[in-house]
Structures are given as structure tokens and as C-alpha cells.
């Protein structure tokens, strides 16, 4: 219950922050700009619109995580607003879950708004038949942002906003290459191979959430992929939050 209350308040905080409104506005401008570049795409205007539109969801969502998510807990500690919360009957783990859930919900709203804008643009341009593919791609982008938000909460609970932004960005970038890392691992001798393999397993498997190329071609993915991605996001975010809660439990607020 308290996690839900904190989640609602975090959602309120994120949606009242100008960053979120700015990001949605930037997304809409970016979609409009794709139409300027569209004639240069040599007949691939539809593909360009879908690809850039979906990229906007991921990149702008990441921007929100870096600007808001990485200071989510650290700023509360810095400003001492956390004293007013944790001196109430609230479990620290519940507090972190609430923070994560609130920002994740705000990011889902951003993804939804940009997804609807993209579908509206495709409809306006007469590019039909992308509805299902774009919906699936936006859903996967939302899952990706949920996972990255969990990482941001973990680092924010343990570090300063700047450092947690750097750590989160590093995990995001390396996570995008996790397939390549596994490939590299098999070509290197031990112990480098084991090290690369471990890193590939620790960082989030973000290619699992990327179906931009597929959606740009108008193709949908399988239910098993969607189910696997959902289960992976839930397990990965759960593990990260459990780790964050364990570390946060011991933290002092001087």
C-alpha cells in the first residue's frame, strides 16, 4: 500500500516536472522532422518515419531516466525530504519499489503518447498496415525503459545523481551490445572470455526489446518473443530492485 502511495506521488512528481513535457514536445517535433527528411529517403519514407519515431521513444525515454530517474532517490537524500518519509511506517524496499513504479508509469505514458503520435502521423501520410508492429515495438520500448529505470533507482540509491547517470548510461550502452559481447567472449582466451561472458550476463539484454527494424518493415513479432521479453524485464527489474533494497536497508541518512 505504501509503495503504491509513493508510486502515485512519484508519478505526480515526474508529470509535474517540465522535463517530461519537454520530452514529449521534442518527440512530436522529431516526428515532424522525419517528414522533412522523408523525400530524401528514396522511397523509404515509411521505413524512415517508423524507425525514427520508435527511436525517439527509446532515446527520449532514456533521457527522462537520466535526467529524472538517476536523481530520484539521491535528490531526496540530498534535500532531506526522505526524512519525512522514512520516519513513517514505510519499509525501505517499499519506498524504492514505489519510486521505480511511479517513474516507470510516467515513462509508459511518454511511450504511449509518442506511439499514438507516430500512429497518427502514419495514418495522416496514408502509410497503413503498421498498427500492430508499432504497438508491439512501443510495448517493448516501454519494457526496456522499465528495466533501465530499475538500474537508475539502484544507482540513485547508492550514489550521487551525476555518478548514477553515468553508471546507468554505461549499463544502457553495454546492454545494447550484450549479444556482441557474447560473440566476442567465445573468440577470446580465458579468463577474458569468462569476464566478457559475465559482463554480458550482468548488463540487461536490451536487444531483446529492440524490434525497430522489424516494425519499420511492417512485420510483427511472435507472442513468444513478447512473453519472453515481458518475463525477462520482470525478473531483471526484480533482481535489480532486490539488490537496491538490500543496499538501501543499511544506508544511513546523516
Partner 1 sequence: MQTSTAARADRQEDVRGGASPGVDRAALAVRAVGLTRRYVHPWTLRVTRALEGLDLEVRRGEVIGLLGPNGAGKTTTLKLLTGLIKPTCGRAWLMGEPIEDIASRRSLGFLPEQPYFYDYLSGEEYLELAARLSGVPGREATRRARRWLGRVGLGERPKLGLRKYSKGMLQRLGLAAALVHEPELLILDEPMSGLDPFGRRDVRDLILEQRARGTTVLFSSHILPDVEMLCDRVAILLRGRLTRTASVDQIVSDGRQAVEIRCAAVGPLEIPPAWHGVLARDDRAGEMVLRLEEEHRLQDLLAWLVRAGVRVHAVTPQRPGLEELFLAAAEADRAAAERTLRRTA
Which is nearer to partner 1, 123 or 249 (by Cβ)? 249
Quote the least distance from Cβ 75 to partner 1, whole Å: 11
Which is nearer to partner 1, 16 or 187 (by Cβ)? 16
- Contacts with partner 1, residue ranges (CB under 8 A): 2, 5-6, 9, 12-13, 16-17, 79-81, 83-91, 250, 252-254
Quote the least distance from Cβ 24 to partner 1, whole Å: 18
Quote the least distance from Cβ 237 to partner 1, whole Å: 24
Which long-range contacts does 21-29 make (Cβ < 8 Å, 24+ apart)? 23/60, 23/61, 23/63, 23/64, 23/110, 24/60, 24/110, 24/113, 24/114, 26/56, 26/60, 27/56, 27/57, 27/60, 27/110, 27/113, 27/114, 27/117, 28/114, 28/117
Quote the least distance from Cβ 61 to partner 1, whole Å: 21
Which is nearer to partner 1, 4 or 32 (by Cβ)? 4
Which is nearer to partner 1, 79 or 234 (by Cβ)? 79
From the list 99, 108, 113, the residue with the least C-alpha distance to 151 is 99
Determine the angle formed by the axes of helices 223-249 and 131-158, rounding to 10 degrees.
10
Q: Say how far apart CA 48 and CA 52 lie, in whole Å.
A: 6
Which is nearer to partner 1, 187 or 250 (by Cβ)? 250
Quote the least distance from Cβ 126 to partner 1, whole Å: 42
Amino acid at each position: 500500500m505504501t509503495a503504491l502511495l509513493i508510486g502515485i506521488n512519484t508519478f505526480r512528481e515526474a508529470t509535474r516536472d517540465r522535463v517530461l513535457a519537454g520530452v514529449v514536445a521534442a518527440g512530436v517535433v522529431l516526428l515532424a522532422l522525419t517528414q522533412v527528411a522523408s523525400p530524401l529517403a528514396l522511397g523509404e519514407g515509411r521505413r524512415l518515419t517508423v524507425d525514427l519515431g520508435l527511436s525517439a521513444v527509446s532515446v527520449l525515454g532514456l533521457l527522462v531516466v537520466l535526467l529524472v530517474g538517476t536523481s530520484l532517490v539521491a535528490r531526496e537524500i540530498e534535500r532531506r525530504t526522505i526524512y519525512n518519509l522514512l520516519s513513517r511506517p514505510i519499509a525501505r524496499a517499499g519506498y524504492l519499489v514505489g519510486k521505480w513504479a511511479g517513474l516507470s508509469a510516467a515513462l509508459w505514458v511518454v511511450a504511449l503518447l509518442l506511439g499514438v503520435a507516430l500512429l497518427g502521423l502514419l495514418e495522416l501520410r496514408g502509410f497503413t498496415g503498421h498498427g500492430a508492429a508499432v504497438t508491439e515495438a512501443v510495448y517493448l520500448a516501454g519494457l526496456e525503459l522499465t528495466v533501465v529505470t530499475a538500474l537508475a533507482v539502484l544507482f540513485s540509491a547508492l550514489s550521487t545523481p551525476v555518478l548514477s547517470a553515468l553508471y546507468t548510461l554505461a549499463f544502457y550502452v553495454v546492454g545494447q551490445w550484450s549479444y556482441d559481447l557474447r560473440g566476442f567472449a567465445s573468440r577470446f582466451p580465458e579468463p577474458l572470455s569468462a569476464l566478457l561472458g559475465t559482463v554480458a550476463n550482468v548488463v540487461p539484454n536490451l536487444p531483446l526489446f529492440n524490434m525497430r527494424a522489424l516494425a519499420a518493415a511492417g512485420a510483427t513479432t511472435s507472442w513468444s518473443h513478447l512473453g519472453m521479453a515481458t518475463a525477462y524485464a520482470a525478473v531483471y527489474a526484480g533482481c535489480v530492485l532486490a539488490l537496491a533494497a538490500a543496499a538501501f536497508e543499511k544506508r544511513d541518512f546523516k
